Chains A and B, each alone.
Chain A
């Protein structure tokens, strides 16, 4: 395996493609931008201060695909025959999923174009929504599929890098299979400043993994899972179990929803 963008001396070099067979090439890249549920709702309803977010991001993605060669030093200018950028609003995971599809009849692949389209569409979504939500995260930008050219078809097999929230849930899910129990997990939620400082919105744990089936046991488990456990030490941390405020230590049952949040400031 060699790096085709380096010459024999290890210097950067654009690959000479004049001898390559022209073939039908396609690539699909995906990515997502995770935002506050409220931001996603505003976006869905077209209430963003900057206007029609998705239409703008789509055009941005298409334009970016066409200009990939200007951004990526050793990339060829391509005559793309098709670029499509699509969005899926995922309310369950409060993110916008971006898919870019590029096609051409040519001598080099279109992966870079598809990846650039996804990246710039995500960046545009960020720009359009940042007035209401600066904490949005662009993640999982990756090639899902490519076809054509010498290497033929390549397809991503299993989902790769997951975000922090999901990886913890996935870990719990894995433990679940190992245990082979039907025990329902305890769902944990964080709100407002607490969520931002922890960088986590939701966690999930099987009661069997707690040192004790109590709020104290649950907090201890959360501490072992988060990067900034000291955030949970603030004296005015409020807690609700199944939508009711609780004080002191209480029993936690399978299937409970436990929420932690700072003092409320509505009205």
Chain B
């Protein structure tokens, strides 16, 4: 399930919904990304997240497909928020259920790494001294390398 929404999400509800009705799941790994109050500026007061409706969903579906082709995955939930958020707010949740734990850890990390570098979302950070668009990070691009080596 891939959802892009303005509203906050409840990670507990997402956890319950994952693999509902099935009992082939032995492991659930969930990742939640939050708004930090420091990033490119030491005092981020808020951020606004923008996406490309249609393409973002499609990019996320393709990342999930790739994860499914690599690991035995039972279920995946991705919820990504857009709009205005303040430090401490949850931005993104990725939940993966698999029969065994290693696949769940890896598939969740894989999805996050590709989400960060291929899904069309853009962050604008707000600070007391002005707003700016966040630049891409070398470390995010470097994170992709580990998936190539295998």
Contact = CB atoms under 8 A, between A and B. Distances in A.
A47 B48 CA distance: 13
Q: Kindly name the residue among A47, A132, A196, A243 whose own CB sees the greatest number of chain B CB atoms within 10 A.
A: A243
Nearest to A38: B83
A250 interface: no
Given A42-B6, A134-B131, A191 B116 contact: no
Contact of B136 (A133, A189, A191, A265): A265
A87 interface: no
Interface string B33-53: 100000000000010111110
Contacts of A189: 52
Interface string B130-148: 0101111100000000000
A45 interface: yes
B133 A266 contact: no
A42 B52 CA distance: 17
Interface string B73-99: 000000010111000000110000000
Interface residues of B, number: 36
B55 A266 contact: no
A202 to B, nearest CB: 12
Contact of A267 (B33, B59, B131): B33
A45 B6 contact: yes
Given A191-B52, A245-B118, A264 B6 contact: no
- Size range of the chain A interface in the assembly: 20 to 34
B6 A47 contact: yes
Contact of A266 (B46, B54, B123): B123
A267 B6 contact: no
B73 to A, nearest CB: 19
B88 to A, nearest CB: 15
Interface in B110-134: 112, 115-124, 126, 131, 133-134
B58 interface: yes
Interface of A: 36, 38, 41-42, 45, 47, 49, 131-134, 189, 191-193, 196, 236, 240, 243-245, 259, 261-267
Nearest 7 A/B pairs, CB to CB: A266-B121, A192-B122, A263-B136, A243-B55, A193-B133, A267-B116, A265-B134
Interface of B: 6, 33, 46, 48-52, 54-55, 58-59, 80, 82-84, 91-92, 112, 115-124, 126, 131, 133-137
